[in-house]
Amino acid sequence: MDSQEKIKMIESVREGNTLTLRLSGDWSLKESKPEFNTIVDTFPQDKAITGIKFDVAQLVTWESGLMTFLLKVIDYGKERGLEIYVDSLPDNIQRLLRLSQEVPEKEDVGKRSAEHALLPRIGKWGISNYDGFVDFTRFIGEVFLSILKLLSGRYHMRWGDFFVIVQETGAKALPIVSLIALLIGLIVAFLGSVTLARFGAEIYVSYLVAYGILREMGAIMTGVIVAGRTGAAFAAQIGTMKVTEEIDALKTMGISPVDFIVLPRMLALIIMMPLLVLYADLIGIIGGLLVTTLLLDFSVHQFLEGMNEAVALPDFYIGLVKGTIFGILVAISGCLRGMQCGNSADAVGLAATSAVVTGITLIIFANAVIDWIAAIHGF
């Protein structure tokens, strides 16, 4: 009996000029329903039929599945000019049907149309890029004004907050910087020893390590770590402050968010990045030293001697200058992305992601530019 009900959930019977749909069995959401089109095919195609009636005496349970079916029947009836005898349905079903039809579909909402056409998409892309550029320049301008304000003594930094940020971006990054710098030192020395050995020039490993770490790898790796750690944190913090209206609260209190939020973060990175780079240089060279002394049987003295011949102070300074600039870039990308953040949890995630991507891209780009300038001036 049970299985039979499921198969024959619906039966169409012709009574005079009306078609009676006999519904039976379980119409709950967990049961799959017969396809509407296959049911329609079983309807007698007779011009004499003028209406559709329902018989629900055998209906056991029903949920939204039945409602969508009934709505389809009503649409089907309307198309063919058939009378639908809704009053043959139980009261509660009639009420639900009325409720769903009470407010007509809003057609001018315009969310679906025109979003896939090529020209509007190009236009939108152009406008959003232009807006992004305007945002960026305005932000840089505000940061610049804010720095001037600080230098001219018209703004007093909240030093307590500042030192918390310094600790967060500087001291707390030491473990990860140590690990990465050490590994980079090992890798550079190892690569150097393998390739230079083919020319019998292992003696120059210390040259490669010192030159590579001081000028390039120390600053780049620290920059990338800080972009991933601190840049993302800045964007997420500021983005969340935007969502919770904390930024608005600052603005309406007459406090510039750039003074209050961006400036301390930027200063903290400007101060901490060279120090982190200095530390990364040291650890990286120790890494290189470990490989050359343990694997290549050089003495520590030989390594240091080779290093001393290979690099000069400018190499070291260039690394520090790079670090400082990378710090500014990470602070700008993190804070800017945070400030541009939209009004949802998704937007905060996006802001953090794009802060890291922007930060790393800018770092690599700036690194190339600095190397180029240094090469021109013969450093």
Partner 1 sequence: MMNTISQPKIEVRGMDLAYGSFVVMRDLKFTVKQSEIMIIMGGSGCGKSTLLKHLIGLIDPVRGDILYDGVSFVKADLDKKQDTLRTFGVLYQAGALWSSMTLEENVALPLEEYTKLSPGEIREIVSFKLSLVGLKGFEAFYPSEISGGMRKRAGLARAMALDPEILFFDEPSAGLDPISSRRLDDLILQLRDSLGSTVVVVTHELASIFAIGDNSIFLDAESRTMTAMGNPNELFKDPPNENVRYFLSRGEKAN
**Which range, of 108-116, 175-183, 188-196, 246-254, touches partner 1 by CB under 8 A?**
246-254
Contact predicate 336/138, CB 8 Å: no
Q: Rounded to an integer, what distance in angstroms lies between the CA atom of residue 296 and that of residue 180?
A: 22
* 14 counts as binding partner 1 under rule CB under 8 A: no
Identify the helix (H) or strand (E) that includes residue 118.
Answer: helix 118-151
The CA-CA-CA angle for residues 257, 263, 266, to 5°, reads: 135
* Nearest CB to partner 1, comparing residues 156 and 301: 156
- Output the CA–CA distances (angstroms, integers) from residue 60 to 23, 67, 259, 314, in the order listed: 9, 14, 68, 87
Tell me which of 1, 4, 252, 377 binds partner 1, using CB under 8 A: 252
Q: Rounded to an integer, what distance in angstroms lies between the CA atom of residue 321 and that of residue 324?
A: 5
* 113 counts as binding partner 1 under rule CB under 8 A: no
Site track for partner 1 across 129-168, x = CB under 8 A: --------------------------------x-------
Number of residues that bind partner 1 (CB under 8 A): 15
Identify residues 226-245 at the interface with partner 1 (CB under 8 A): 237, 240-241, 244-245
Tell me which of 81, 153, 200, 254 binds partner 1, using CB under 8 A: 254
* Nearest CB to partner 1, comparing residues 171 and 312: 171
Instruction: Report which of 275, 280, 371, 282 is spatially closest to residue 327, judged by C-alpha positions.
Output: 275
Q: Rounded to an integer, what distance in angstroms lies between the CA atom of residue 303 and that of residue 210?
A: 10
> Beta strands of the chain (E only): which ranges?
10-15, 18-27, 51-62, 83-84
CB of 254 to partner 1, least distance (A): 4
* Nearest CB to partner 1, comparing residues 170 and 257: 257
Q: Which residues bind partner 1 (CB under 8 A)?
A: 161, 237, 240-241, 244-246, 248-255
